[in-house]
Amino acid sequence: MPPTPEQVVVGILAVLFGCLAVTASAYAGRQTGNWLYYLCTVGSLAFVAGVIGQRVFPSSAAIARLGASAASSSAPGPWDAGVSLPLIGTRVTPVAIVGLLVAAVGLSLVLLFERVPGAVGVAAPTRASRLEDDDSV
């Protein structure tokens, strides 16, 4: 069964947002030198690859080879749409789900361990010396 137009639009939007996440995390990793951003990059790349490489389960070749009932009861592979997302109403590959989870863990680690730019190394205000007190009148 071919995908519906709504599923095609959801797939296109998912790939666009995944590519945006890849670009943003790779740029942030390069600018800050924090390798945890690259974990987000790898997860986002896996998500995009999982959405792009998705196949319909069971495929027409498997139905022709095994029969309809045997093909529907067989286990889906990593590129077959086997995981159902209830809020969107679509099925996603395990590769895309693992990529999404790796990206989420990477983002959590970045937010947990990223150094706050203004907190470290802030110089305390110095007191005016005795001569500067005389000049400030």
Q: Where are the domains positioned within the chain? A: 5-113
Judged against a pLDDT cut of 80, whether residue 29 lies above it is answered with yes
| pLDDT computed for residue 109 by the predictor | 93
Higher pLDDT, 64 or 136: 64
Half-sphere exposure of 11 (CA within 13 A, CB side): 18
The alpha carbon torsion through 108, 94, 88, 100 (nearest 10 deg) reads 20
d(CA 57, CA 79): 9
Which pLDDT band, with edges at 50, 70 and 90, does 40 fall under?
very high
Residue 18: exposure state from Cβ atoms within 10 A (0-12, 13-18, ≥19)? buried
Give the global pTM.
0.73
Judged against a pLDDT cut of 60, whether residue 122 lies above it is answered with no
- CB distance 77 to 53 below 8 Å: no
| pLDDT computed for residue 30 by the predictor | 93
Question: Could you tell me if residue 17 is left (phi over 0), alpha (psi between -120 and 50 degrees) or otherwise beta?
Answer: alpha
| pLDDT computed for residue 121 by the predictor | 55
| pLDDT computed for residue 77 by the predictor | 73
| pLDDT computed for residue 130 by the predictor | 63
What does the pLDDT look like over 61-97, one tens digit per residue?
778 888 878 777 777 777 777 777 777 667 788 899 8
